[in-house]
């Protein structure tokens, strides 16, 4: 194939500009980054002609992959790849890569911000003051964050950065639920998720979404939490059974939750989480800063460039025997 005919498509929602990717891939004959989406005119043609796909949240399932004509790489803008059928891509010898290592500071800071906002009831206080109320500080209980038990589900780079930001609050105990993590801090106690949910006051989720971790936080785990527990999720929406979370919050079985990611996105207008004062919501934005966008786009394009150069991606997530 002539290098001048290579085409790279972004599937679904993306970014304001693709100049970064375009500059990196221009030497490989890519005239410009194109966009497409399921249901749009020309989507089938784009799949047939794509040499590489760049995706954020769009679902690249077996049906999509079987319509790819000459694609050699699918690269996710992000870490989780639960929206890509890895086995279907492996069968077609299509490299799938993600972009780990970006946005560590952003996501860990956002997790801390959600935790603080829930603990200090910032969102309802803001609403009350805007409505003319005053002196409402003691209307609902609040609890100090200092000296409490911190629980981390998943202990990768983001969880470690979050822990560093929590250290000034002097956690009394540190519980980690991650069977794959090595070199835990000296003060960490490796526990299972059930123990963590029973004993932690502050719980932050940082695990990937897999068959093993889907609804890791379900009715039993939520029922075991204390009425003072705060749950934060900046990992993947499917880690939590949202119906069970709503029921637990309505029953007062935990203090509150800070949620950035959801089982289905965007969050439905009538989703019951929207109605609960004990929840602080954000729109899957923990990853974002101006710097992280540039870094993410650069890393994704570099993975495509490696494949076009005849090399495997650096963050290859569906390898096959060579």
Positions marked active-site: 236, 265, 284
Q: Which of 70, 113, 114 is nearest to 93 (CA)?
A: 70
* Rounded Cα–Cα distance for residues 156 and 182 (Å): 10
* Rounded Cα–Cα distance for residues 74 and 259 (Å): 28
- Count of beta carbons in the 10 Å neighbourhood of residue 301: 24
* Rounded Cα–Cα distance for residues 68 and 253 (Å): 48
**Pair type for strands 256-259 and 230-233:** parallel
């Amino acid at each position: 194939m002539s290098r001048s005919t290579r085409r790279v498509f972004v599937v679904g929602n993306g970014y304001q500009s693709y100049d970064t990717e375009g500059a990196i891939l221009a030497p490989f004959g890519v005239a410009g980054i194109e966009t497409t989406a399921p249901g749009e005119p020309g989507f089938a043609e784009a799949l047939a002609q794509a040499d590489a796909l760049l995706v954020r949240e769009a679902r690249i399932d077996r049906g999509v992959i079987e319509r790819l004509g000459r694609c050699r790489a699918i690269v996710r803008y992000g870490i989780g790849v639960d929206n890509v059928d890895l086995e279907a891509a492996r069968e077609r010898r299509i490299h799938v890569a993600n972009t780990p290592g970006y946005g560590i500071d952003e996501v860990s800071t956002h997790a801390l911000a959600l935790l603080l906002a829930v603990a200090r009831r910032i969102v309802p206080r803001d609403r009350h003051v805007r409505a003319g109320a005053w002196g409402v500080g003691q209307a609902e209980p609040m609890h100090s964050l200092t000296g409490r038990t911190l629980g981390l589900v998943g202990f990768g780079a983001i969880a470690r950065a979050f822990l560093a930001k929590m250290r000034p609050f002097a956690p009394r105990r540190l519980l980690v639920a991650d069977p794959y993590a090595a070199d835990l801090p000296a003060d960490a106690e490796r526990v299972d998720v059930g123990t963590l949910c029973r004993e932690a006051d502050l719980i932050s989720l940082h695990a990937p979404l897999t068959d093993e971790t889907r609804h890791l936080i379900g009715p039993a785990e939520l029922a075991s939490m204390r009425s003072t527990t705060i749950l934060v999720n900046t990992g993947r929406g499917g880690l939590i059974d949202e119906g069970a979370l709503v029921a637990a919050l309505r029953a007062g079985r935990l203090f509150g939750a800070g949620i950035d990611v959801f089982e289905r996105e965007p969050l439905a207008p009538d989703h019951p989480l929207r109605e609960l004062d004990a929840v602080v919501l954000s729109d899957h934005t923990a990853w974002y800063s101006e710097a992280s966008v540039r870094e993410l786009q650069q890393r994704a394009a570099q993975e495509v460039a490696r494949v076009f150069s005849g090399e495997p991606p650096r963050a290859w997530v569906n390898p096959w025997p060579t």
